[in-house]
Structure 1
């Protein structure tokens, strides 16, 4: 969807117009998309992407999220009927809580707020090594710290090399370097694992 159409669509949704499509129409909601390079826009050196926001949610007023960014920027993010939401899996607005972390992509409105087309809640992307494996948990070493990765039935998958994702985690090995995408459990060292990427 061209940028002007996308802006009109999301602006209309924030102002009360009908919204019939979410981020799945405007772009992928897959968790990997949260970490993908932003659409090509011309930015001054060192400038932040105006169509992106991240941080922790400090308040929810109706469909407006108030948040503090990791750089202490204060964000106002509108969630509309057209916003797609991921929290370990595609979900609904009522699953977003104060204290959650988030990444959001959308379009900046004239008042400086962001109309979100996609929000990824508590998403993490960890480079780690596997320290131990239990039936429902992976013990991960990430930057010298221990992280507990919870295996979620029906959700957690593994990707071995370039093969498609599978539910079988038995090929994971202690000591192996992995990339883990999952949903952080706020204020803990624990994540619910969406996908484990292993080179083998």
Structure 2
């Protein structure tokens, strides 16, 4: 496993253009759940994680992404040939667009820029109540808001009672509570479903 020091040195060299490029997934998981992973051991409870940035993309210039954080902070994120990206499925950094929501993990550079080893674009993770279920959609209630979850053939899956994921969402309990990971369709109340976690 790559140590934190090795990871920092690698990403610093990559951001400065001097590293041999490898897939960023060699530095950690790109699974959607990893976007919400625990902070590093040196981060005090409640303190910001210097290896993390979030926000909505306001501009993209070459390999630099600017994202307005939910706390009002403007986050400068440097991508490299080693940065991996997720947007419902693993993709390229080029899939990022102005207006997308963004979570990024990487290494903080001396100037405050985050050299990203992984980006998650438009990712959502929410607890919801299932209102209706069809073969191509699941209608959800999340804290009083209605959300339409689109089932994407070959991508969407369900995990029942902690068992391995399956493509069959027909057992998702209407009227029950689920946890959903997916990709938000910006400026809508709609998501593309990655995984539904349900108890049956």
Output the TM-score relative to the length of structure 2.
Answer: 0.96
Could you list the per-position Cα deviations for residues 109-167 of structure 1 after superposition, in whole angstroms to 9, with x for gaps in the alignment? 01100000111000000100110112211000000110000000000000001210000
For structure 1, the residue ranges without an aligned partner over 5 or more in a row are: none
How far, CA to CA, are the matches of 2:78 and 2:23 in structure 1? 13
Runs (4+) off by over 4 Å: none
How far, CA to CA, are the matches of 1:22 and 1:127 in structure 2? 32
3-state DSSP class of the match of 1:76? strand
Alignment check: 8 A CA contact 1:104 1:119 kept? yes
Alignment check: 8 A CA contact 1:19 1:80 kept? no
Deviation at 1:36, TM superposition (A): 1.5
| Paired position in structure 1 for 2:68 | 68
How far, CA to CA, are the matches of 1:116 and 1:135 in structure 2? 37
How far, CA to CA, are the matches of 2:54 and 2:115 in structure 1? 13
**Cα 1:174–1:29, aligned 2, differ >3 Å: closer, same or farther?**
same
How far, CA to CA, are the matches of 1:21 and 1:155 in structure 2? 25
How far, CA to CA, are the matches of 1:7 and 1:132 in structure 2? 46
Alignment check: 8 A CA contact 1:160 1:199 kept? yes
Provide the aligned length of Structure 1 versus Structure 2: 199
3-state DSSP class of the match of 1:197? strand
* Pair 1:31 & 2:58 matched: no
| Paired position in structure 2 for 1:156 | 156
How far, CA to CA, are the matches of 1:41 and 1:22 in structure 2? 26
| Paired position in structure 1 for 2:193 | 193
Output the TM-score relative to the length of structure 1.
Answer: 0.96
For structure 2, the residue ranges without an aligned partner over 5 or more in a row are: none
| Paired position in structure 1 for 2:80 | 80
* Pair 1:174 & 2:174 matched: yes
Alignment check: 8 A CA contact 2:173 2:198 kept? no
Could you list the per-position Cα deviations for residues 14-69 of structure 1 after superposition, in whole angstroms to 9, with x for gaps in the alignment? 111234323311111000111111231243x6421111000000000001001100
Alignment check: 8 A CA contact 2:135 2:170 kept? no
